[in-house]
Amino acid sequence: MEAVGKEEISVEDEAVDKTIFRDCSQIAFYRLSSCSGDTGSLILADGKGDLKYHISANPFMIDLVSEKEVVMSINSLGQLYFEHLQSSPYKQRATGGNEESASADSCQENQEDLGLWKEKFGNFVDVKANGPSSIGLDFSLHGFEHLYGIPQHAESHQLKNTRDGDAYRLYNLDVYGYQIHDKMGIYGSVPYLLAHKLGRTIGIFWLNASETLVEINMEPAAEYTLTEVGPTAAKQKVRSRTDVRWMSESGIIDVFLLTGPTPSDVFKQYSYLTGTQAMPPLFSLGYHQCRWNYEDEQDVKAVDAGFDEHDIPYDVLWLDIEHTEGKKYFTWDKTRFPNPTQMQELLRSKRRKLVVISDPHIKIDPDYSIYATAKEQGFFVRNPEGGDFEGICWPGPSSYLDFTNPKVRKWYSSLFAFSVYQGSTDILFVWNDMNEPSVFRGPELTMQKNVIHYGNWEHRELHNIYGLYQAVWTGDNTAEWSYLKISIPMLLTLSICGIAFCGADVGGFIGNPEAELLVRWYQAGAYQPFFRGHATMNTKRREPWLFGEEHTRLIREAIRERYTLMPYLYSLFYHAHVASEPVMRPLWVEFPNELETFGVEDEYMLGSALLAHPVTEPKATTVDVFLPGSNEIWYDFKTFAHWEGGGTVKIPVALDTIPVFQRGGSVIPIKTTVGRSTGWMVDSPYGLRVALSTKDSAVGELYLDDGHSFQYLHQKQFLHRKFLFSSSVLINSCADERGNYPSKCVVEKILILGLRKKPLSVTTHSPDGKDQPVVFVYCDRTSTLKLEKLSLNIGADWKVHIK
């Protein structure tokens, strides 16, 4: 068992196998030392004494204590269990036996009846070569009533009590049109949850890739009377407690305790175990247009031209499985897509990209070179008899690549080389799909648990990591208002569990959205990390211009707002990359000491500066927006109206309204002009939106690099700037001296919100000592100051003085 906290500590002890504490900000090693204890117990503490572990042997239990308060107890309910390795009954029968073995056979038959050695699912029989091998352990979280995490489920952000219902199931499944408000497993599984209360956040990472169930039992705080005698009966308050029970089908107990104490501490501690979100290419933050399927090259050309004709920016067009020759990946249908390179050159001329699909199943066809090579090299998952496992998926009979084999990963990655992938260019990118893995004629439409992977591991042991290195989204959703609404808590849960680049299919994958729903979904998606429209093949076409001029205008505005915010979004992903800070955040992460935020899931923070409350109800005329922070001030992103935080505001909405608010005290960098794609906007000017706090100050930053290479990492080719408004001066300074990335861009506009009076003058000051007067416009009604026609280099130091 490992614990991850503020320091990195390693200890080996007779009573404790190994306990590791890690710190992301500085790597240093310390030893846990024994404070006290006898033969039946042990107390371990770090050098500071902030955390102590009280370990008792009989009964076995661990208490995590912080400042004399028990934060977490392990096995306090005595639910630790693990199955002992047993001999297979089938081997015993094969060798015969005496009366003793006959009695054993009878016992084994009874076990089989219970599904311990053999289990049936429909027509499938799962023979468990190693017999029952389940494990489990309970954790009691003291004082915690709010738990989050364990994606992926179409459920609320806050985890629910499972005492009277189903447990949360972690088991990757391709569930077409999944049910909402259901604890069944869908497309991905992350066995990680966070618990939060006033003053502390902790996490539990249950490192197990087999089918896992999580039970949650919440016991609220209560008062009870110590004595019924006398007029003033003494009462004592019992703290709330939440018990979490983890149960996995197989594997070992390997669990990491993340001790916080803040949400950001837990995010860093978790990322130190798993790695941080990769820095995405800039274009990937733009809008993506997808459908199953765009028919042919002419269809691609027409859709691409439609965006230009209607002045709607987009960055990527996606092709689903029909682009291939007979569902053979890394190929092109010669009739539909005879000139894939030429098609890509058309998109390149617009500075756009193309994404095509690739799945882990390989069509069984001896004339298909990828199949033939994988077959010859033994690169497929095997059946229990030793042959290649064969299942049914899109191509028909298929075999499945075994990505647990390092040779398979190396070979498979080589297939993406431009010289190998025929018809590819450097604007071609690949979409990995169906990696649950999906098997159309398998138990629960997935792979049988007793098939064999590299190293003779059964699939049951690693099912949930088969698609580990491939993308996560909210799955095959439906074009209904309820799915738009549930997408917000689903994305929030993914975000806090280390998956920052997440999104939902805009409009709903299944069915035909009404125009109002489609508009509202675009408005929501514009303020979420991954922004893609997608639909299945039997739906009506729904490109943004097909719903009438007025709806086209509204969708255009939502997408253009997304592109305006691109500098801010890219800077947020930089922080996700280096510090594991979620891009899309539940309110409790930004306001951990405000109880009112703990259950909010219909609105969210985009970074620390923007609050979005998408409209998720049809024909809405108002929305109730909770604006947190009693000392905060919030500005409507469009009208500049402002409110004090710490309460709920009723906001009138029309179909063109996107309730978005900028937090006082923040500076947001934006692009002042929007092009056809992010590629057209590289050198376009910047603007700064300065929203003043109640103390008339604001801070913000901009991260910038070339947007596509790793030169920011290898050659330090990046620009990191800090903006500070204080004492009526706006300062642009360097946030990281290591970076060196020349930029032609200038700041041409500055908007200051919350300036209480009209200034007498505004001047800019550069390091060479030159002061330049600035023409400005001040609005009394909205308390805003606009500075335009500036030419301030984004990468240089300068100041703007307001007098």
Q: How confident is the model at residue 21 (pLDDT cuts 50, 70, 90)?
A: very low
pLDDT per residue as tens digits for the range 52-64: 999 999 999 999 9
**Among 372, 554, 384, residue whose Cα is nearest residue 452:** 384
pLDDT at 176 over 80: yes
Mean pLDDT on 420-425: 98
Domain assignment present for residue 355? The answer is: no
**Among 491, 698, 496, 501, residue whose Cα is nearest residue 588:** 496
Mean pLDDT on 478-491: 98
Number of domain units in the chain = 1
The residue type at 802: I
Domain assignment present for residue 375? The answer is: no
Strands (E), 541-685: 584-585, 604-606, 610-612, 622-627, 633-636, 642-644, 647-652, 660-663, 666-671
pLDDT score of 85: 78
- CATH number of the domain that residue 690 is part of: 2.60.40.1180
Q: How confident is the model at residue 28 (pLDDT cuts 50, 70, 90)?
A: very low
Domain assignment present for residue 404? The answer is: no
150/119: higher pLDDT = 150
pLDDT at 223 over 80: no
pLDDT score of 114: 64
pLDDT at 305 over 70: yes
pLDDT score of 115: 76
Q: How confident is the model at residue 33 (pLDDT cuts 50, 70, 90)?
A: low
pLDDT per residue as tens digits for the range 431-473: 999 999 999 999 999 999 999 999 999 999 999 999 886 687 8
Q: Does the annotation mark 476 as catalytic? A: yes
Q: Which of 8-17, 157-166, 594-603 has the lowest mean pLDDT?
A: 8-17
What stretch of H or E contains 217? strand 212-219
pLDDT at 784 over 50: yes
pLDDT score of 1: 63
Q: Which of 13-17, 297-301, 643-647 has the lowest mean pLDDT?
A: 13-17
Find the Cα–Cα–Cα–Cα dihedral 542, 545, 548, 554, rounded to 10°. 100
pLDDT at 29 over 60: no
Bridge partners of 611, per DSSP, are 605, 661
pLDDT at 226 over 70: no
**Which entry of 388, 433, 505, 636 is annotated as an active-site residue?**
433
pLDDT at 80 over 60: yes
What stretch of H or E contains 725? strand 719-726
Mean pLDDT on 235-253: 90
Structure tokens at 12: 């080996």
**Which entry of 145, 243, 436, 603 is annotated as an active-site residue?**
436
pLDDT score of 93: 52
Structure tokens at 665: 């005290």
Q: Which of 32-36, 137-141, 322-326, 639-643 has the lowest mean pLDDT?
A: 32-36
Domain assignment present for residue 724? The answer is: yes
Q: How confident is the model at residue 68 (pLDDT cuts 50, 70, 90)?
A: confident
Q: How confident is the model at residue 222 (pLDDT cuts 50, 70, 90)?
A: confident
CB 192 within 8 A of CB 150: yes
Burial class (CB in 10 A: 0-12, 13-18, 19+), 715: exposed
**Angle in degrees, 0-180, between the axes of helices 549-564 and 566-579, rounded to the nearest 10:** 50
Structure tokens at 170: 């972690």
Q: Does the annotation mark 67 as catalytic? A: no
**Which entry of 7, 476, 543, 748 is annotated as an active-site residue?**
476
Domain of 764 in residue numbering reads as: 685-802
pLDDT per residue as tens digits for the range 723-777: 999 999 999 999 999 999 999 999 999 999 999 999 999 999 988 878 999 999 9
Q: Does the annotation mark 311 as catalytic? A: no
d(CA 570, CA 45): 41
Domain assignment present for residue 769? The answer is: yes
pLDDT at 31 over 70: no
Residue 558: CB partners within 8 Å, gap ≥ 6? 519, 522, 523, 525, 526, 658
Domain assignment present for residue 568? The answer is: no
